[in-house]
C-alpha cells in the first residue's frame, strides 16, 4: 500500500516543503522575474519587456515568453483572461506564476477565467485567485507532468458542467494548501483515469450540501492509479465528498475531515487497493464510507464516523433513508478489510450502522464479515485515543495538523503496529490543561477571588497558574486560588492560564462586573411581609421572616439610571432569564442587558423593580412558595417591596432615659411606651428604608407602621397599614452611639415622655436624654 511514499508526502506538505524541488535561478543574462501590473501608476503595456519599471498588463503576455527558471509576478487587480501556458520548466528550474500570498490581491476572473496547461511540465501556480463562470475548469491541465498548484483559491461562480480543477493525463503533480470552491461545478478536483501520482494535500474543497443543488457532484474525484487525497477538508456535494472510480488503484485517502453533504463521505466504487485511513467523517446524508462494485484489496481503518446516514437534516434527500456509517456491498464483500474504526449514530434506537450487503449492527457485522474486531460503537472522543493501527495501509505518521503522534499516559495503549498510541481519526488529540474556575465577587470591598481548583491537567502535570485581572495586574503562582482588589468599579476581563510542565497551556477568559455598592438590604414583600431569599434551584421567593444569609442583597449602580441586585448568598447578580424573559435567577457575574433593573420609588415608601428587556414588574406571590417572576404589566401590592438594612431588621429601641425597651403596647393596640424590661415580640421593629430617604418603624407584632398620630400631637401608635406622611421619620446618629428619631410631619424629635413613664410622642424640639435610644 505504498506506506513509505504516503508518509513522505504527508511530511512534505505539513512541513511546507516543495514537492517539485527548489527553484534555481535562470541563466544570468535572462531575467528571473517577469512582472505583470495593472494599476495606472505602473504604466503597463504588453509591448514592454516585463520588468518592474515596464511591466506587462496581462498574464498572457508574460506566459507567451516565460521560460524555465522564470517567475511571473502578478500584481494586484482583476485579470479578465484565460492564460495558456505554452512553455515548460525543469524540476530544478520550474516556471512559476505567483502573486502576493498575504494580500491575495490579484484575481483572474471572467467567464472563461483560468489557466490551461497542455503538454507541458514543471509549471507552478502559487497563491493565485481564479474565479470563472462558464463550463470550463479554472485550471485545465492535460498531458503534462510536474504541475504544482500551491495555495490560493479556485472557484466557479455559476452552474458549470465541469470541475473547478481538472487533471487529464497528468503525472507526478500536486495540489497543496489550496481552497477549491465548487458550489456550481460537477467536481472540486477531478483526476482522470489517465492521471497518476497526483497528490492533493492539505486542500479544502467546498460545495453545496443540499441534494437539490445539482445532480451528481463530487468534491474530489480520483480515477487513475497511485493518487492520493491527504490532510484535506470537504464539505457538501451530492454524490460524495471523495469518489474513487473503477480505474483507481493504490489510492490513499487519509487524514481528511469530511462534513455535511447530501452524498456519501468516501465512496470507493470499484477501485482496488485503496487505503482509507484516519479520516473523520460526519453529518453525511448517505454512507460515511461506502465500498462497492468490483472493489478489492480496500482497507478501511482508523476512521472516526458519526451521524452519517439520513438524520432529518434539511439538506438530505428523503429518498435515501438507509445510510450507514460503514457499508460494504456487492463484489467488495469478502475483499475489504474493516478494523480499528469508531462509528456511532448518537442514539441507541438505530443500531444498524454497518452494512455487509445488508444493514446491521456492529456485532452482526463482525459475525457476517469476520471484520471489525477492534471497531468501537462509540461517540465519545476519548475512545479514539491511543487505539489506532499504525500498521494499517495509508496510516499517516503525522495528523492533519502536522502533529506528531503522542502517548497519553492516562489512556491505555490499545492500538496495533509499531506505534500503539496513535489516535483514530484525522487529529491526534493532545490534551492540554482544562481550565475550570469559579469567581467569587465581593462588592463591599470591590474584590474577586478566582478558584481554579477544579481545573484538570493535560498530558503533563500543572506547573503554574497565571491570573490576569483585567487592570494590568498579573499573578503567577503554583496554587489555584488568587484574590484581587480593584481600585475602582468597572467591567473587567479575567484571564486564567494554566501551564503544564511540558509547556502546553490553556487560557480561559471571563468578563465580570465589579460595580459600586450603594447599600446592603433585605427586600420585604408587601404582599406577605416576608423577606425575599435566593437559593440555587429555587429562585427568588418571599419566604423568610428575617433577612438572613440567603435574603441579603447588595444594591449596585449599573449605570444609566439602572440598578443591579447582587445576592450575597451566591455572589451573583439577579437577572431575567434568557429562556422565557420572566424567570429570575441569580447566576450572573456580568451585568449587561438582563441584569440592569429600573428601581421605581412608589409614593407609599415602597419600591418596585422593573425588569430589563420586557419592562415587566417583579411580582411576589403572597404564598411565599412560588418563585418570583418579572411578569406583571402594572404595579399592585404584589409588586411592592420594603427596603430594610439587615442590621436594622427585628431590632429594638431602648430608651436612654430609663433603660427600658419601647413596646407596641397591647400588641399594637395602645401607644408606644418605653416600659418593657426585655425585648419580646411587642418590642421588635423593622426600620424600613423608605423610598424618599426617610425611615419607617414597622412593628413586628402586627406588621403596622408606627404613626406620629394627630400630625405629631398625639402619642406614637403602630396602627398604619402603609407609610404615609405621619409614618415617616429621619434617623439621627448621635456621637454617643445612640440614635434619635425626628418626625417628618412636624420636625419634632420622638421623646420618651415623662422620663419614660408616658407614651412616646414626637414633641421634642431638641435632642436630650429623653430623645435618645439604642438600637439592639
Q: Which residues pair with 189 in a beta bridge?
A: 165, 220
pLDDT of residue 315 exceeding 90:
no
The confidence score (pLDDT) of residue 707 equals 96
The reply to whether domains 438-514 and 650-775 share a CATH topology is no
pLDDT of residue 26 exceeding 70:
no
Lowest mean pLDDT among 183-187, 369-373, 626-630: 183-187
pLDDT of residue 4 exceeding 60:
no
For residue range 156-182, list pLDDT tens digits in order.
Answer: 887 778 999 999 999 999 999 999 998
Residue 103 binned pLDDT confidence (cut-offs 50, 70, 90): low
Task: Please report which helix (H) or strand (E) contains residue 607, including its range.
Answer: strand 607-610
* pLDDT over 70, % of the chain: 94
For residue range 497-532, list pLDDT tens digits in order.
Answer: 999 999 999 999 999 999 999 999 999 999 999 999
Average pLDDT over residues 575-598: 93
Q: Where are the beta strands (DSSP E) in 249-387?
A: 252-254, 257-259, 264-269, 275-277, 280-282, 289-292, 298-301, 304-306, 326-328, 336-339, 342-344, 354-356, 359-360
Q: Does domain 438-514 have CATH number 3.30.450.30?
A: no
Q: Where are the beta strands (DSSP E) in 23-100?
A: 33-36, 71-74, 77-79, 82-85, 95-99
Distance CA 245, CA 216 (A): 14
Residue 313 binned pLDDT confidence (cut-offs 50, 70, 90): confident
For residue range 472-485, list pLDDT tens digits in order.
Answer: 999 999 999 999 99
Task: Please report which helix (H) or strand (E) contains residue 654, including its range.
Answer: strand 653-655
Lowest mean pLDDT among 92-106, 332-346, 405-419: 92-106
- Domain residue spans in the chain? 17-175, 177-430, 438-514, 516-640, 650-775
The confidence score (pLDDT) of residue 319 equals 73
Closest CA to 406 of 385, 425, 381: 385
DSSP annotation of 41 reads G
* Residue 64 buriedness (CB in 10 A; 0-12 / 13-18 / 19+): middle
Residue 350 binned pLDDT confidence (cut-offs 50, 70, 90): low
More confident residue, 88 or 29: 88
CATH topology of domain 650-775: Trefoil (Acidic Fibroblast Growth Factor, subunit A) (2.80.10)
pTM across the whole model: 0.73
pLDDT of residue 29 exceeding 70:
no
Give the largest CA-CA distance in the chain.
Answer: 122
Closest CA to 680 of 697, 665, 659: 665
pLDDT of residue 348 exceeding 80:
no
Average pLDDT over residues 7-11: 44
Residue 102 binned pLDDT confidence (cut-offs 50, 70, 90): low
The confidence score (pLDDT) of residue 1 equals 40
The confidence score (pLDDT) of residue 216 equals 85
Q: Rounded mean pLDDT of the chain?
A: 92
Closest CA to 129 of 168, 169, 181, 92: 181
Distance CA 58, CA 47 (A): 10
CATH topology of domain 516-640: Trefoil (Acidic Fibroblast Growth Factor, subunit A) (2.80.10)
pLDDT of residue 311 exceeding 90:
no
* pLDDT over 90, % of the chain: 85
Q: How many helices (H) and strands (E) does the chain have?
A: 3, 66
26 with 68: CB under 8 angstroms?
Answer: yes
For residue range 49-83, list pLDDT tens digits in order.
Answer: 999 999 999 999 999 999 999 999 999 889 999 99
Closest CA to 210 of 239, 188, 232: 239
pLDDT of residue 23 exceeding 50:
no
Distance CA 532, CA 546 (A): 9
137 with 165: CB under 8 angstroms?
Answer: yes
For 602, residues 6+ apart whose C-beta sits below 8 A from its C-beta are 608, 635, 640, 691
- 371: helix, strand or coil: coil
Q: Where are the beta strands (DSSP E) in 447-504?
A: 447-451, 462-468, 474-477, 481-485, 490-500
Average pLDDT over residues 691-705: 93
Average pLDDT over residues 667-690: 95
Amino acid at each position: 500500500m505504498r506506506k513509505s511514499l504516503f508518509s513522505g508526502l504527508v511530511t512534505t506538505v505539513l512541513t511546507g516543503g516543495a514537492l517539485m524541488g527548489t527553484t534555481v535561478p535562470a541563466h544570468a543574462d535572462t531575467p528571473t522575474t517577469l512582472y505583470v501590473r495593472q494599476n495606472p501608476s505602473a504604466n503597463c503595456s504588453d509591448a514592454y519587456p516585463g520588468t518592474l519599471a515596464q511591466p506587462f498588463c496581462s498574464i498572457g503576455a508574460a506566459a507567451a515568453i516565460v521560460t524555465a527558471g522564470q517567475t511571473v509576478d502578478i500584481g494586484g487587480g482583476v485579470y479578465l483572461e484565460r492564460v495558456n501556458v505554452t512553455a515548460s520548466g525543469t524540476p530544478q528550474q520550474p516556471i512559476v506564476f505567483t502573486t502576493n500570498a498575504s494580500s491575495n490581491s490579484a484575481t483572474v476572473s471572467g467567464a472563461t477565467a483560468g489557466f490551461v496547461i497542455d503538454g507541458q511540465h514543471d509549471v507552478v501556480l502559487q497563491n493565485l485567485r481564479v474565479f470563472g463562470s462558464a463550463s470550463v475548469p479554472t485550471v485545465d491541465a492535460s498531458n503534462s507532468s510536474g504541475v504544482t498548484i500551491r495555495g490560493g483559491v479556485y472557484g466557479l461562480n455559476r452552474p458549470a458542467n465541469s470541475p473547478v480543477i481538472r487533471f487529464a493525463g497528468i503525472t507526478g503533480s500536486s495540489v497543496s494548501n489550496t481552497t477549491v470552491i465548487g458550489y456550481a461545478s460537477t467536481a472540486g478536483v477531478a483526476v482522470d483515469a489517465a492521471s497518476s501520482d497526483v497528490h492533493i494535500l492539505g486542500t479544502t474543497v467546498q460545495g453545496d450540501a443540499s441534494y437539490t443543488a445539482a445532480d451528481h457532484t463530487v468534491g474530489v474525484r480520483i480515477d487513475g492509479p497511485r493518487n492520493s487525497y491527504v490532510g484535506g477538508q470537504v464539505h457538501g456535494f451530492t454524490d460524495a465528498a471523495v469518489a474513487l472510480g473503477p480505474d483507481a488503484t493504490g489510492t490513499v485517502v487519509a487524514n481528511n475531515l469530511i462534513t455535511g453533504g447530501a452524498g456519501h463521505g468516501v465512496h470507493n466504487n470499484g477501485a482496488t487497493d485503496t487505503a482509507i485511513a484516519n479520516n473523520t467523517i460526519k453529518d453525511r446524508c448517505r454512507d460515511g464510507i461506502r465500498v462497492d462494485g468490483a472493489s478489492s484489496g480496500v482497507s478501511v481503518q482508523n476512521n472516526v464516523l458519526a451521524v452519517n446516514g439520513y438524520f432529518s437534516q434539511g439538506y438530505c434527500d428523503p429518498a435515501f433513508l438507509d445510510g450507514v456509517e460503514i457499508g460494504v456491498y456487492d463484489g467488495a464483500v469478502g475483499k475489504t478489510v474493516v478494523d480499528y474504526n469508531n462509528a456511532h449514530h448518537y442514539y441507541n434506537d438505530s443500531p444498524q450502522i454497518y452494512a455487509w450487503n445488508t444493514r446491521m449492527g456492529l456485532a452482526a457485522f463482525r459475525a457476517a464479515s469476520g471484520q471489525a474486531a477492534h471497531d468501537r460503537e462509540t461517540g465519545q472522543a476519548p475512545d479514539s485515543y491511543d487505539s489506532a493501527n499504525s500498521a494499517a495501509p495509508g496510516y499517516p505518521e503525522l495528523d492533519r495538523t502536522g502533529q506528531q503522534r503522542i502517548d497519553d499516559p492516562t489512556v491505555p495503549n490499545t492500538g496495533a503496529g509499531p506505534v500503539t498510541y496513535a489516535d483514530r481519526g484525522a487529529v491526534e488529540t493532545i490534551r492540554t490543561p482544562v481550565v475550570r474556575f469559579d469567581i467569587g465577587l465581593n462588592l463591599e470591598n470591590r474584590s474577586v477571588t478566582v478558584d481554579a481548583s477544579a481545573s484538570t491537567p493535560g498530558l503533563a502535570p500543572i506547573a503554574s497558574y497565571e491570573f490576569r485581572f483585567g487592570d494590568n495586574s498579573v499573578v503567577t503562582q503554583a496554587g489555584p486560588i488568587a484574590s484581587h482588589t480593584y481600585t475602582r468599579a468597572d467591567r473587567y476581563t479575567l484571564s486564567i492560564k494554566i501551564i503544564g510542565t511540558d509547556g502546553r497551556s490553556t487560557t480561559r477568559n471571563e468578563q465580570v462586573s465589579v460595580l459600586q455598592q450603594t447599600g446592603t438590604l433585605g427586600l420585604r414583600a408587601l404582599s406577605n411581609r416576608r423577606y425575599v431569599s435566593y437559593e440555587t434551584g429555587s429562585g427568588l421567593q418571599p419566604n423568610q421572616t428575617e433577612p438572613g444569609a440567603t435574603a441579603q442583597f447588595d444594591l449596585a449602580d449599573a449605570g444609566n439610571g439602572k440598578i443591579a441586585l447582587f445576592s450575597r448568598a451566591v455572589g451573583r447578580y439577579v437577572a431575567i432569564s434568557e429562556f422565557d424573559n420572566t424567570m429570575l435567577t441569580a447566576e450572573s457575574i456580568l451585568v449587561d442587558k438582563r441584569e440592569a433593573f429600573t428601581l421605581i420609588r412608589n409614593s407609599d415608601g415602597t419600591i418596585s423593580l422593573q425588569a430589563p428587556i420586557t419592562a415587566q414588574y417583579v411580582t411576589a406571590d403572597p404564598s411565599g412558595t412560588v418563585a418570583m417572576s418579572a411578569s406583571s404589566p402594572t404595579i399592585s401590592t404584589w409588586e411592592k417591596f420594603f427596603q430594610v438594612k439587615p442590621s436594622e431588621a427585628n431590632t429594638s429601641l431602648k430608651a436612654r432615659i430609663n433603660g427600658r425597651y419601647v413596646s407596641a403596647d397591647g400588641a399594637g393596640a395602645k401607644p408606644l411606651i418605653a416600659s418593657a424590661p426585655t425585648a419580646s415580640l411587642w418590642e421588635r421593629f423593622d426600620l424600613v428604608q423608605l423610598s424618599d430617604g426617610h425611615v419607617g418603624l414597622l412593628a413586628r407584632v402586627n406588621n403596622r407602621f408606627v404613626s406620629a398620630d394627630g400630625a405629631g400631637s398625639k402619642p406614637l401608635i403602630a396602627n398604619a397599614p402603609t407609610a404615609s406622611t405621619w409614618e415617616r421619620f429621619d434617623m439621627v446618629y448621635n456621637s454617643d452611639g445612640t440614635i434619635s428619631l425626628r418626625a417628618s410631619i412636624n420636625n419634632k424629635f420622638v421623646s420618651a415622655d415623662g422620663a419614660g413613664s408616658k407614651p412616646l410622642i414626637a414633641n421634642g424640639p431638641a435632642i436630650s436624654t429623653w430623645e435618645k435610644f439604642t438600637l439592639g
